[in-house]
C-alpha cells in the first residue's frame, strides 16, 4: 500500500510537472509580450548586430596632409601611407589650421605634418620628424593612423640604413637593418576584427536578458490575471513547489536550448564569424548557463508587481552586465568590488566561457572555473526559487483561506440576519 | 473638481497664466503618482547613480595596467632574461609565468591565465653573436580588443628594441656618439600628438558615451511607461480632463517632473566627469548644458512619439527598449559609423545617442564651435518636436482605449 502510494505520488508529480510546463508553453505563445522577447528578439536581434559589425575592421581612414617640405622624401612617405590598407590620404592642406577645420567638419580623423626641413635634416644626418595628429574620439581610427605611420616610418628607415651602410650582399643588408628578426602572430581573432571580439559576448547576453524579460513578463501577466494578484494560481496541479518550479523551468529550458543552438552555432556560421566550438564543450557550457539564467529569472520574477516594470529593470542592466564580463575592459583589471558583483550574474561566466570556446577553441577543461561557477549558480538559484515560490504559495493559501473565511462569515451573518428577520416576522405574526 | 470644471469651460480661450497653472497642476499630480510607485525613484535616481559610479569606477585606471603576459624562454641566457625584464618593466605588461614550450603557453591563453606571450627559441643569443639573424616571436590574442592592441604595442616595442640593442652595441664600439646612433637607428621618427586625450584614457573615451546611453535607456522607457500606466490604472480620462482636453498641456505637465529629475541626473553626471574627474572639455560649459538639455528632451520626445504611434504600453515599451539598446552600437562611439554598411549609416541618424555622441566629440571633447555640429543639434530638435505628429492619437487612446494586457 505504502509503495503504491509513493509510486502514485511520483506519477502524479511528473504528470503535474508536464501539465504546468504545457500551460507555461501555451502562455508563452499566446502572450504577445513574452512571444516578442522569448522568440522574436533572440531570432532577429543577433541578425541586426551581426549586420552592424559585419565589416569587422576599419579601412581607409581619411587623413589630411600638411606637406610644407614638398620633397622626394615627404612624397614617398605620403604615397606609402596612402597605399596602406587602413588609411587614405583624403586632403592636402596648406596649413595645420586648415587641417583642423577639416577635422571639425568630420572630413578627416587625423593629420600628417611634414615640416619644411623634413628632407634637409635627413641629408644632414639628423633625426627628422613627421608630426601625426590624431582625433582621439575614436580609438580605432587613432590606432589605424598611428600604426600605419609607424610602419611606413620603419620601412623608410630600413631603406635609409641600407643606403648608409657599407654592406656587400643583400643578406648583409637584412642583418644590418634587423639583427634580431621577429614574428608577430595574432593567435586568436587573427583579423583583429571588432565583430569577432564583441559578438560572442553580445549573443550570450541576448540569451540571458531575453530570458529574464520573458520570465518576468510571464510572471507579471500571471499575477495581474490572478484574482488575488498572486503569482501561483490555486489548482490541484499547482500542488508542491518542485513541480511548479520544475514545470515552469522545463518550458523555458526547452525553448532556450533551441535558441541557444541558434545563437551559438547558426549566427556565427551565417555571418562567417570565428567559431571553433566542439560539441562537448558547447553542450557542457550551454546546459548550466541556460538553467542558471532560467532559475535566476524565476527567482527575480517574484519581485515583479506589474509586468511592464520588468522591462525597466532588465533592459538597462544589459550594458553593465556586458562590461562586467571583461569583454571590453580586460577581466584582470576589473576592480574587486565589481568582480564580486559579477559573480552573481550568470552572463559573466556564460560570456567568458563562450568567448573561449568559440573564439579560442577551448575545451571543457579549459573553462572549468566558468562551468563550475555556473553549476553552483544553478543549484543556488534553484533552491532560492523554491524558497521564494514556497513563500508565494503560503501567502496565496493564506489569502485564499482568509477570503473563504470572510465569505463564510458573511454568509453566516446573512443567515443570522435572515434568521433574526424571520424571528421578528414570526413575533409580528403572533 | 471645481478647478477642473473651470479649466474645461475656458479651454478655447485660455490665457498663458491658466495654461501654466494647468501644467503645474498636472505636474503636481504626476509627482504624487511617482511617489506612490517606487519604480520611478529607482529608474530616475537610484539606477542612474549606480550606472554612473559603475562605469567611472570600472575604468578608473584610465588604461589597463599590468596585464598578465607569459614567456617561453628556451634560450635562458643573460640576453634573453634582460629582454624579459625590460618587457616586465612596461606599464601595461606584467610577466606572470614562464612556460617550457609554446603549446603550454597557448593553453594558458585558452584558460584565460595570460593574454599574450613572448617566445625566445634556443640559440637566439648565439645567433645574435654570430650574425645569423635569429628570430623571436610574440603571440597575442585579440579576443579582447583592448588588451590585444595594448599588449601588441608592448611586445612589438620590445622586439624592435632587441634589434636596436644589437645595433647600438655595434655602433658605440666603432665610436659613434649617442646622437649619431639614434639618427642611424631611427632616421625618421614619428612625433605623435594625441589631441585632448594624451593618456589614451579609456574612461574618457567610453564613459562619456556609455553612461548617457544608459541614462537615455531610462528616459526612453519611462516616458511611454508613465503615459501607458494612465490607461492601465484607468486614470487616463481624468488626466485629459485636467488638461481641459488639450493633449499638449497634458503631455507637458505629465513629463515635466521626469524632465527635471533626468536633467538633474544628466547634469550631475556631466559635472561629475568634467569638473570632478577632470575629463577634457575644451568646449566649455555652454555646449555641456545645451547637450544635456537637448538629449533629455529628445529622448522624451521620442518616447512620447512611440507611444502615440503604438498606443499600447507593451508595444511602445518593447520598441523603445530595442531602440535604445541598439543605439549604443550604432552611435559609432566604439566601432566607427563610417566603417559600417551604408544602410546602417543612414539608419543611425534615427537614434538620439548618435547625435549626442557627435555633438559631444565635436563641441565638448574637441572644442570646435557649435556651428560645426549644427546638423546634429537640428536632429535632436526634430526628436523633441516629434510628438506633434502623434499627439492626437495619444488623446484618442486615452479617451477611447482600454488597457490590453
DSSP state letter for A367: T
Facing residue for B194 by CB, picked from A136, A316, A333:
A136
CB contact under 8 Å between A330 and B67, yes or no, is yes
Q: What is the arithmetic mean of pLDDT over A23-47? A: 87
Give the three cell numbers for residue A117: 626641413
Q: Which of B171, B196, B318, B346 has the highest number of chain A CBs within 10 A, making it the mutation to test binding with A? A: B318
Region A253-268: mean pLDDT is 93
Gap between the Cα atoms of B209 and B56, Å rounded: 12
Return mean pLDDT, chain B. Answer: 90
Closest A-chain CA to B326: A49
* A221-231 mean pLDDT: 72
Query: What is the structure's pLDDT at B6?
Result: 46
Largest CA distance in chain B: 103
Quick count: other Cβ atoms within 10 Å of Cβ B386? 20
Asked if A214 and A37 touch (Cβ cutoff 8 Å), the reply is yes
Contact B190 A150 (CB under 8 A): yes
The pTM score is 0.91
| Yes or no, beta carbons of A181 and B136 under 8 Å apart | yes
Average pLDDT over residues A357-362: 92
Can you tell me the distance from the alpha carbon of B189 to that of B181, in angstroms, rounded to the nearest whole number? Answer: 13
The distance of B233 to chain A (nearest Cα, Å) reads: 11
Closest CB from A127, A308, A318 relative to B183: A127
Q: Could you report the per-residue pLDDT of A75-98, keeping only the tens digit for each? A: 999 999 999 999 999 999 999 999
Residue B231's pLDDT is 87
Q: Using CA atoms, how far apart are residues B232 and B252, in angstroms rounded to an integer? A: 20
Nearest by CB to residue B336, choosing from A32, A140, A193, is A140
3-state helix, strand, coil in chain A (%, to 5): 70, 10, 20
Beta strand pairing status for A128-135 and A110-114?
Answer: antiparallel
| Residues in chain A closer than 8 A to B324 (CB atoms) | 315
Cα A383 versus chain centre, distance: 26
What confidence tier does B2 reach under pLDDT thresholds 50, 70, 90? very low
Q: Chain A residues with CB inside 8 Å of B133's CB? A: 174-175, 178-181
Enumerate residues 59 to 78 of chain A having a beta carbon within 8 A of any beta carbon in chain B: 59, 77
Please state the rounded mean pLDDT for residues A329-339: 93
Q: How far is B242 from chain A (nearest CA, A)?
A: 25
- Using the beta-carbon criterion (under 8 Å), do A327 and B144 form an inter-chain contact? yes
Spans of all domains in chain B:
2-59+201-400, 67-185
- CA atoms of B357 and B205, how far apart (whole Å): 11
pLDDT score of A230 = 67
Query: Which pLDDT score, from 0 to 100, does residue B234 have?
Result: 85
**Residue among A134, A140, A184 whose CB faces B195 most closely:** A134
- For residue A191, give the DSSP letter: T
Q: What's the longest Cα–Cα distance across chain A?
A: 143
- Radius of gyration of the CA atoms of chain A, in A: 34
Q: Do A312 and B222 touch (CB under 8 A)?
A: yes
Per CB-CB distance under 8 Å, the chain B contacts of A306 are 229, 232
Which chain A residue has its CA at the smallest distance from B331's CA?
A: A52
* Region(s) of chain A under CATH 3.40.1710.10: 61-177
Q: How far is B268 from chain A (nearest CA, A)?
A: 19
Q: What is the mean pLDDT of chain A?
A: 89
CA distance A316 to B325: 8
Q: φ, ψ for residue B171 (rounded to 5)?
A: -65, -40
| Homologous superfamily of A61-177 | abc type-2 transporter like domain (3.40.1710.10)
* ipTM score assigned to the predicted complex: 0.91
Residue A242 predicted with pLDDT over 50: yes
* Cβ-nearest to B138 among A184, A192, A193: A184
* Contact call for B187 and A306, based on CB within 8 A: no
CATH value of B67-185 in 3.90.650.10, 3.30.565.10, 3.40.1710.10, 3.30.465.10:
3.40.1710.10
* CA nearest neighbour of A182 among B185, B164, B137, B127: B137
Is the pLDDT at B203 greater than 90, yes or no? Answer: yes
Q: Percentage of chain B surpassing pLDDT 70?
A: 96
Q: How far is CA B209 from CA A338, B391, B392, in A?
A: 20, 30, 34
Interface residue of B110, B152, B189, B373 to substitute, partner A, most A CBs within 10 Å: B110
pLDDT of residue A224: 77
Output phi, psi for B160, to 5 deg.
-70, -35
From A212-221, B278-287, B383-392, the region with the lowest mean pLDDT? A212-221
Rounded CA-CA distance A208/A264 in Å is 13
Name the residue among B117, B126, B185, B177 with its Cα closest to residue B148.
B117
Which band of pLDDT confidence, cut at 50, 70 and 90, is reported for residue A400? confident
Q: If you ran DSSP here, which 8-state letter would residue B405 be given?
A: -
Kindly state whether A47 is in contact with chain B, defined as any CB-CB distance less than 8 angstroms.
no
Name the residue among B159, B191, B221 with its Cβ closest to that of A131. B191
Helix, strand, coil tally for chain B in percent (to 5): 70, 10, 20
Residue A136 with chain B: CB contacts under 8 Å: 194-197, 200, 205, 365
How far apart, in whole angstroms, are the C-alpha atoms of residue A84 and residue A134? 17
> What 3-state class would DSSP assign to B100?
coil
Give the span between the Cα atoms of B369 and A142, in whole angstroms.
22
* CB-nearest partner of A319 from B147, B210, B340: B210
Q: How far is CA A149 from CA A57, A81, A416, B131, B254, in A?
A: 18, 7, 98, 29, 55
**What are the chain A neighbours of B193 within 8 Å (beta carbons)?**
131-134
Question: Do the chains contact at A330 and B146, CB–CB below 8 Å?
Answer: yes
Grid cell 530638435 is found at: B381
Closest approach of A319 to chain B, Cα-based (Å): 7
Q: Is the pLDDT of residue B8 over 60?
A: no
Q: How far is CA B47 from CA A336, B39, B44, in A?
A: 20, 10, 7
Kindly report which listed range (A339-353, B152-166, B370-384) carries the lowest average pLDDT score: B152-166
The length of chain B in residues reads 405
Contact state of A197 with B133 under an 8 Å Cβ cutoff: no
Q: Tell me if chain B has a CB within 8 Å of the CB of A163.
A: no
Partners of residue B68 in chain A, C-beta under 8 Å: 332
pLDDT at residue number B3: 42
Burial class (CB in 10 A: 0-12, 13-18, 19+), B297: buried
Q: Using CB atoms and an 8 Å cut-off, which of residues 402-421 of chain A contact chain B?
A: none
Between A and B, how many residue pairs show a Cβ–Cβ distance under 8 A?
330
What would the pLDDT profile of A160-194 be if each residue is shown by its tens digit?
988 888 888 888 888 888 889 999 999 998 888 89
Does the structure show a pLDDT above 70 at B67?
yes
Contact B211, B55 (CB under 8 A): yes
Q: Do B366 and A225 touch (CB under 8 A)?
A: no
- Residues from chain B that touch A189, judged by Cβ atoms under 8 A, are 141-143, 148
pLDDT number for residue A165:
82
CB A311 within 8 A of CB B321: yes
Per-residue pLDDT tens digits for B300-358: 999 999 999 988 888 899 999 999 999 999 999 999 999 999 999 999 999 999 999 99
> How many Å lie between the alpha carbon of A203 and the closest alpha carbon of chain B?
13
Q: Hey, is the C-beta of A427 within 8 angstroms of any chain B C-beta? A: no
Q: Give the model confidence (pLDDT) of A97-123 as tens digits.
A: 999 999 999 999 999 999 999 999 999
Using CB atoms, pick whichever of A129, A135, A360 lies closest to residue B189. A129
Amino acid at each position: 500500500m505504502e509503495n503504491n502510494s509513493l509510486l502514485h505520488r511520483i506519477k502524479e508529480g511528473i504528470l503535474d510537472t508536464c501539465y504546468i510546463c504545457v500551460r507555461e508553453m501555451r502562455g508563452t505563445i499566446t502572450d504577445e509580450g513574452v512571444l516578442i522577447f522569448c522568440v522574436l528578439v533572440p531570432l532577429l536581434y543577433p541578425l541586426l548586430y551581426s549586420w552592424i559589425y559585419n565589416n569587422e575592421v576599419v579601412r581607409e581612414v581619411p587623413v589630411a596632409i600638411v606637406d610644407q617640405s614638398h620633397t622626394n622624401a615627404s612624397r614617398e612617405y605620403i604615397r606609402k601611407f596612402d597605399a596602406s590598407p587602413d588609411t587614405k590620404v583624403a586632403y592636402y592642406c596648406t596649413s595645420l589650421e586648415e587641417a583642423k577645420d577639416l577635422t571639425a567638419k568630420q572630413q578627416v580623423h587625423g593629420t600628417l605634418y611634414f615640416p619644411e626641413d623634413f628632407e634637409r635634416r635627413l641629408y644632414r644626418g639628423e633625426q627628422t620628424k613627421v608630426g601625426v595628429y590624431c582625433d582621439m574620439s575614436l580609438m580605432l581610427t587613432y590606432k589605424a593612423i598611428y600604426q600605419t605611420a609607424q610602419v611606413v616610418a620603419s620601412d623608410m628607415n630600413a631603406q635609409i640604413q641600407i643606403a648608409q651602410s657599407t654592406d656587400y650582399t643583400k643578406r648583409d643588408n637584412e642583418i644590418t637593418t634587423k639583427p634580431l628578426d621577429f614574428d608577430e602572430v595574432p593567435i586568436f581573432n587573427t583579423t583583429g576584427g571588432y565583430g569577432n571580439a564583441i559578438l560572442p559576448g553580445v549573443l550570450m547576453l541576448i540569451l540571458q536578458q531575453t530570458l529574464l524579460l520573458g520570465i518576468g513578463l510571464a510572471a507579471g501577466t500571471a499575477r495581474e490575471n490572478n484574482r488575488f494578484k498572486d503569482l501561483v494560481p490555486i489548482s490541484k496541479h499547482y500542488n508542491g513547489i518542485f513541480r511548479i518550479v520544475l514545470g515552469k523551468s522545463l518550458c523555458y529550458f526547452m525553448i532556450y536550448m533551441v535558441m541557444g543552438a541558434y545563437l551559438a552555432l547558426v549566427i556565427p556560421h551565417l555571418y562567417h564569424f570565428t567559431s571553433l566550438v566542439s560539441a562537448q564543450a558547447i553542450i557542457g557550457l550551454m546546459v548550466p548557463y541556460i538553467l542558471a539564467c532560467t532559475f535566476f529569472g524565476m527567482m527575480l520574477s517574484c519581485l515583479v508587481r506589474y509586468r511592464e516594470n520588468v522591462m525597466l529593470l532588465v533592459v538597462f542592466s544589459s550594458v553593465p552586465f556586458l562590461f562586467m564580463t571583461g569583454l571590453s575592459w580586460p577581466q584582470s583589471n576589473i576592480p574587486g568590488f565589481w568582480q564580486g558583483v559579477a559573480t552573481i550574474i550568470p552572463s559573466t561566466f556564460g560570456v567568458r566561457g563562450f568567448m573561449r570556446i568559440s573564439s579560442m577553441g577551448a575545451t571543457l577543461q579549459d573553462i572549468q572555473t566558468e562551468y563550475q561557477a555556473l553549476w553552483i549558480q544553478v543549484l543556488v538559484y534553484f533552491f532560492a526559487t523554491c524558497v521564494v515560490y514556497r513563500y508565494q504559495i503560503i501567502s496565496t493559501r493564506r489569502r485564499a483561506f482568509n477570503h473563504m473565511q470572510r465569505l463564510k462569515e458573511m454568509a453566516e451573518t446573512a443567515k443570522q440576519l435572515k434568521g433574526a428577520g424571520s424571528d421578528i416576522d414570526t413575533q409580528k405574526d403572533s | 473638481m471645481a478647478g477642473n470644471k473651470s479649466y474645461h469651460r475656458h479651454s478655447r480661450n485660455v490665457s498663458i497664466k491658466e495654461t501654466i497653472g494647468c501644467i503645474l497642476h498636472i505636474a503636481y499630480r504626476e509627482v504624487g503618482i511617482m511617489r506612490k510607485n517606487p519604480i520611478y525613484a529607482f529608474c530616475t535616481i537610484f539606477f542612474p547613480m549606480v550606472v554612473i559610479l559603475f562605469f567611472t569606477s570600472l575604468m578608473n585606471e584610465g588604461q589597463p595596467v599590468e596585464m598578465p603576459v607569459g614567456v617561453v624562454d628556451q634560450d635562458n641566457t643573460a640576453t634573453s632574461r634582460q629582454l624579459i625584464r625590460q618587457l616586465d618593466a612596461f606599464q601595461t605588461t606584467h610577466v606572470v609565468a614562464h612556460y617550457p614550450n609554446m603549446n603550454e603557453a597557448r593553453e594558458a591563453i585558452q584558460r584565460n591565465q595570460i593574454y599574450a606571450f613572448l617566445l625566445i627559441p634556443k640559440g637566439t643569443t648565439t645567433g645574435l653573436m654570430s650574425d645569423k639573424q635569429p628570430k623571436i616571436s610574440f603571440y597575442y590574442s585579440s579576443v579582447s580588443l583592448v588588451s590585444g592592441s595594448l599588449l601588441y604595442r608592448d611586445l612589438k616595442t620590445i622586439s624592435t628594441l632587441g634589434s636596436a640593442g644589437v645595433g647600438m652595441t655595434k655602433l658605440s664600439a666603432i665610436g659613434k656618439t649617442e646622437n649619431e646612433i639614434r639618427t642611424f637607428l631611427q632616421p625618421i621618427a614619428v612625433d605623435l600628438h594625441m589631441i585632448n586625450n594624451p593618456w589614451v584614457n579609456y574612461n574618457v573615451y567610453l564613459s562619456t558615451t556609455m553612461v548617457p546611453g544608459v541614462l537615455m535607456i531610462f528616459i526612453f522607457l519611462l516616458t511611454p511607461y508613465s503615459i501607458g500606466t494612465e490607461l492601465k490604472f484607468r486614470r487616463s480620462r481624468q488626466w485629459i480632463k485636467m488638461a481641459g482636453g488639450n493633449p499638449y498641456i497634458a503631455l507637458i505637465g505629465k513629463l515635466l517632473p521626469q524632465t527635471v529629475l533626468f536633467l538633474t541626473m544628466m547634469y550631475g553626471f556631466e559635472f561629475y566627469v568634467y569638473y570632478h574627474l577632470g575629463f577634457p572639455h575644451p568646449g566649455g560649459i555652454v555646449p555641456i548644458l545645451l547637450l544635456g538639455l537637448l538629449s533629455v528632451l529628445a529622448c522624451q520626445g521620442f518616447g512620447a512619439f512611440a507611444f502615440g504611434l503604438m498606443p499600447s504600453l507593451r508595444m511602445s515599451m518593447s520598441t523603445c527598449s530595442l531602440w535604445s539598446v541598439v543605439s549604443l552600437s550604432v552611435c559609432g562611439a566604439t566601432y566607427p559609423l563610417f566603417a559600417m554598411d551604408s544602410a546602417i549609416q543612414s539608419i543611425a541618424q534615427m537614434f538620439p545617442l548618435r547625435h549626442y555622441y557627435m555633438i559631444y566629440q565635436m563641441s565638448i571633447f574637441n572644442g570646435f564651435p557649435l556651428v560645426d555640429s549644427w546638423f546634429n543639434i537640428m536632429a535632436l530638435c526634430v526628436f523633441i518636436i516629434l510628438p506633434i505628429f502623434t499627439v492626437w492619437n495619444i488623446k484618442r487612446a486615452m479617451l477611447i482605449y482600454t488597457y490590453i494586457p
